[in-house]
Amino acid sequence: MSDDGDLFFSISPPPSPPPPAESEPTRNGECTPLPRRFPFPEEYPSINEDENSTDSSRSLLRSFRRSVYDPLPNFIHPPNAPITYGGLFGTMPRPGPTNRLTPSGLYAGSVICPKDFEPMRATSPRMTSGAILSSHESTGFGKVIEESAKSKSFLIRALFAAVFVLLLVITVLLGAGAVLFFNKSAESTCQNPSGPPSSGSAIKQHNSPYEEMLWDDVGQHEALSSHLMSLFEPERVKENLRWLAKDVHVAGTEEQLGIMDRIQEFYESLDFDVTPYEYDVLLNYPDYANPNTIHHWNGADWNVMSNGQAPFAGPDELFEAEEQDPRSRVWWNAYSNNGTTIGNVVYANFGTEEDYLLLEKQNISLRGKIALVRYGGVFRGDKALGAEKRGASGVIIYSDPADFAMNGNVTFPSQIWLPKAAAQRGTLLRTFGDPETPFLPSKDYTFREFDEETLRKSGILPSIPVMPIGYEDCAKIMEQLDGPLAMWSRWRGSMNVEYRLTGSANFKLDVRSFSSRRRIKNVVAVFRGAVEPDRFVALSNHADAWVKGAIDPSSGTATLLEVAKVVKEANDYMGWRPRRSLAFCHWDAEEFGLIGSTEYVEEMLKLLQGRAVSVLNVDNVNGNGTLSVKAVPLLYRAIVKAAGKIGHPNPTEVEAGRVTLLDSWKFYSPKGPLPGDKSVPAIGLPASGSDHQRFITFAGVPVADLRLESAPVYSYMLYHTRYELPWTVENLLDPTGEVLPSMGKLWLELARSLTDSLIIPFGVEDYAVYLVEQLKRMDTQLVYLGVDVLIGEPAYRKAFKSVTKAAAVFHHTAKGFQQLIHGVNAGDRPLSLKQVEMLNSRLLSLERAFILDAGIFPEANFQRHSVFALGNGDLSSNSPFALIFDPASKLLESQTEHDSLHWTRTVRLGFSKLQYTIESATSLLALDGF
């Protein structure tokens, strides 16, 4: 090949060609220009060859020219016309130096239409090709054929020509077949409504594995679900519960670390990927050798009202074992300040803000007094803080029999009701996680930002002594009061005494406690998924207790261990692995203030926000009647669907026709969070209650908190007492042995649906419907309270209209997105791997769109979710949107112009932040390039 790309052959030159013909004769003898016939290159190089050469390649070239390039004549060849080369269809000059191919595909010097040519017209209809042949023969054509036949290479040339033509025909046929095939495939895809969305050309070749079409196998999911449910063994759950609740295991003690070590070993024996997470945190303990006490001054001496201990009131067969550890008897509230205070007692009902204000209206001061409050209404730490802000020197908290012993004298061990010599323990910490290291995990390298003294001055920890007691001891105190009677009916409980507001008697409260930095340990065990192993659903439960904790938390812990065992057996027997991973999470120090889970969230925040699908928490199983659920709207449908598959463990419910957990849930709690939708029963706000809280309010991970409770009357009255024993669970809570396994089945089925579904089965549309409905309710409340007037009606109405419009747009977008999720997960349509990933990545990030990095407002920077932040006021206690409700409450309470201006700005800014997060969620759902 030459530099310019022309192809040359070294061949002997041919004879000189006759003069070229420039036109073709017509019927009247005139010549017309020949049309362009073949789209070949501008010219070919000269080819010199010997006419009589036997070289096969050269012969093939000659045959090729004769058969392809000779033009088809449209006239009868005259007998006397000169023939320079015998072609199949007419005459053509031999190629030579002067006969290069032209753009028309003809030789420049071809003699096709000689100027002196006189056409011979057919005079008879009988003139046929035979006549033409004889004409050719008479002019020398037969001689040419005869000479060619004598050539030694004639057969070879013919064979090569035939093969070439055959290959050409095959190539054309294959090309035509391919075109028809892809046209048919594209047409089928366009006509199939179940096919994936298409863009661009109808003919789409799948050259990438990301375009492989995937279907969700619904039948396989159902079969797997049934098999998993069959693997639960109630006896294993009982065995777990017995060793978990054998000893007192308070966080930070050797007993608790021993339990966490054993849990770690359990998962290692299952070959899960196990990681311990250890932290050094500030905890608080009583002096077990010198319990807290309350005395009454009788004018001469101090009489004991309470010795701070509970004598054992359980079954006789347990007495000896339960009295071996004196720590079971001691009453205490964690983080109470150590000290002694003397003063009058003031009864403040539940110790809510409303109760304290009511006392002030009666001119009853708490300054220098000891507040006596009962459990219920608000968090115990808020009871203490409210009293402390009003100058109280101490707080006593008791459990009134009206709330905890509704059947009067029939209490534990005959029934689940609280006996008179039992008291509820609990924390007073008014934050979450280690209070010394907010926003950072309490690791060895972490600087301790606050010390205990600073924390008590700031109100994070109480600066006054606080102590819990039983209602038997409380009655002794109330009998000594001689002040005005409590005239409000809701202030009167069911103790057999007169409820008075205060009195002249003096009491002494002695609290002996100390704080210490202790080691705690979380255990996270991961069962890796098969397709998306870096994404996981977390099954969450804490393992620490105030005493032995057979109900809280060990009923949940024992169940979670059984769930892990079932998962392992399914893997061993049938090779099952979910599409995404399962993470079994056991937290430490939950009772002190969600410390273990909070430290984990702070340490693993980025990982959680990038990989966590959801957190499914079961703190405890405390009843056998109905489900109690707190969850984000994304999980409503998944929970309902799972509950409908689990048989009810209570024979009484089954006899009443409520054969599944969903049936009893709908019966006892029919009013759900979605307007007009009766398929979803009551579901509470997910922002409080247990370890799931920090995952939603700080990290933006979708959560659910699941519990089984008694119905129609709540009966978990032994909460945080020494009577939470395995005996209690086996004889009062779960006598059939099926209650805890039923919760395990629900837990696993919900987790399986979230890990195994092709598309994460989130209720995107439910979220939008919920937002629209809650915005309407917020508007009604704020207008009723006059908040719109305080911040300016035009500004309020403009802000509310704007955020409502944003929610409507989110609803419109979510509705289409939800239809796509449902169609795929129902097995009605396939998606490509690329499309599956596009959907799941958006769903994984949706809840995070509502996170405000700097917090909902400066005074609540530890709460970051614009919808589900934990509120700190009466308005936000049972409502979402704490970023608006909490500052609105402060605005209503403002006493100065400065405070009023500050909270007005905060309310208006809250509307802007809420709309920003809603619009962020809408943008996230956009399927650009889908």
Q: Which residues are catalytic?
A: 590
The 10 Å Cβ neighbour count of residue 317 is: 8
User: What angle is formed at CA 446 by the lines to CA 445 and CA 447, rounded to 5 degrees?
Assistant: 120
333/515 Cα distance (integer angstroms): 12
150/832 Cα distance (integer angstroms): 66
774/632 Cα distance (integer angstroms): 13
3-state SS class at 468: strand
Name which of 684, 680, 442, 518 is nearest 693 in CA terms.
684
User: What angle is formed at CA 587 by the lines to CA 582 and CA 592, rounded to 5 degrees?
Assistant: 155
Q: What does DSSP say about strands 532-542 and 612-617: parallel, antiparallel, or unpaired?
A: parallel
97/694 Cα distance (integer angstroms): 91
* Residue labelled with tokens 């910490």: 429
3-state SS class at 630: strand
Q: What does DSSP say about strands 502-511 and 339-347: parallel, antiparallel, or unpaired?
A: antiparallel
Main-chain phi, psi angles of 451, to 5 degrees: -105, 175
Q: At a CB cut-off of 8 Å and minimum separation 6, what does 16 contact?
A: 96, 98
The amino acid sitting at 318 is L
Q: At a CB cut-off of 8 Å and minimum separation 6, what does 800 contact?
A: 775, 779, 911
279/596 Cα distance (integer angstroms): 8
Name which of 14, 34, 31, 37 is nearest 98 in CA terms.
14
Q: What does DSSP say about strands 703-709 and 626-631: parallel, antiparallel, or unpaired?
A: antiparallel
What value does the CA radius of gyration of the chain take, rounded to a whole number of Å?
45
Residue ranges of alpha helices (H) inside 656-738 are 661-668, 692-697, 726-728
Between helix 380-389 and helix 353-361 the angle, nearest 10°, is 30
Four-residue CA torsion sign, 558, 709, 651, 229 = negative
User: What's the Cα-to-Cα distance from 648 to each of 55, 549, 654, rounded to whole Å?
Assistant: 94, 25, 7
- Residue 748 tokens read as 């696993």
Q: CB–CB of 416/734 below 8 Å?
A: no
645/641 Cα distance (integer angstroms): 7
H/E element, 160: helix 154-191
* Cα atoms in the 13 Å half-sphere on the side-chain side of 441: 19
User: 593 in the Ramachandran plot: left (φ > 0), alpha (ψ -120 to 50) or beta?
Assistant: left
Distance of CA 751 to the CA centre of its chain: 11
- Residue 313 tokens read as 């009131």
